[in-house]
Chain A
Amino acid sequence: MTIGKRSEDLNQFLAGVERRAFHMARIATGDREEALDIVQDAMFKLVQRYASKDSSEWGPLFYRILQHRIRDWQRRTWVRNRWRHWFFREKDDEAEDDPIEQLPDIRIRDCADQISDAAAISTLESALCALPLRQRQAFFLRAWEGYNVAETAFAMSCSEGSVKTHYSRAVRALRLRLKEFAP
């Protein structure tokens, strides 16, 4: 594949995923600029390191990078919040397993303020904001991107069994929160 052709293919690929990627990052961070930074990092890393890979691999690789970036952002935010709690001597409720992955998003209202005015979309995105990170990742990749379990497991850097668990929990939690969406 020539460099020109590959660049064109990469351009098409990135143009095809950039909006969804931005949406995922914005729902995760609740911040437009943070989301743009995360998407930028993911695009640069994909182009610089994996452009030579087969184009069929770009999708899972891109989302793997994106999910890592989102996870890093959430870890940094968690650490910052921990310090804040420590300084103000507030008691925090720790999650049972991995405290970061199980951490419910605390920016539901902020996030909802920034997203679309359409009530249904806003409600859905708010509910997605409230999901733990791994459940949200699994839902985005399986439901929105349409990835199969193996591809999702690769993008999330976890086992296929974990993907199934996270995804089913995400769907169950969303259905509970969004009863008005029930068919």
Chain B
Amino acid sequence: MKETDQDQAFVERAKRLLEQGSDALDARTASRLAVIRRQALEAEKPAIPWLKPVAGLVVTCAAVLVVYFVTRHPVQKEMVADLEDIELLSASESLEFYDELEFYGWLAEAEGAG
């Protein structure tokens, strides 16, 4: 619908009245609005400028530590294997004893049966 001249005149008058009503705002409300505006603007300020770089550094360090411990895990397994070897090597029995271990087991079973 095309806006007629009468519509336009009506709208202009309504606009003037609304402006008057807006200008006649009581002091208490105007003060509250000013406080709200100030609080909103304060919320814009960046919280702590150095926080992001520090947070990034902390995350990176944590990631490095995680990777370090994960890759270290197989090494620990190797160390355990090494310790078993040391126990074997340091045993008082000779190496031939371990080679014949199966035979000694059979012998023990045969004597038990007899």
Contact = CB atoms under 8 A, between A and B. Distances in A.
Interface of A: 3, 7, 10-11, 14-15, 18-20, 22-23, 32, 36, 39-40, 43-44, 46-48, 51, 115-116, 118, 120-121, 124-125, 139, 143-144, 164, 168, 171-172, 174-175, 178, 181-183
Given A19-B22, A23-B22, A40 B40 contact: yes
Given A7-B44, A43-B40, A182-B6, A22 B29 contact: yes
A18 B36 CA distance: 10
B10 interface: yes
Interface in B30-79: 30, 32-34, 36-37, 39-41, 43-46
Interface residues of B, number: 33
Contacts of B29: 22, 32, 36
A171 B36 contact: no
Given A22-B25, A32-B29, A118-B20, A174 B36 contact: no
A14 B37 contact: yes
B18 interface: yes
Nearest to B37: A14
A183 B36 contact: no
B80 interface: no
A171 B10 contact: yes
A175 B23 CA distance: 24
B1 interface: yes
B33 A36 contact: yes
A19 B3 CA distance: 27
B7 interface: yes
B15 A143 contact: yes
A48 B3 CA distance: 38
Given A143-B15, A174-B14, A183-B10, A3 B40 contact: no
A24 to B, nearest CB: 9
B15 A51 contact: no
A182 B10 contact: yes
A121 B21 contact: yes
A125 B20 CA distance: 12
A36 B10 CA distance: 29
Contact of B37 (A11, A32, A124, A143): A11
B3 A115 contact: no
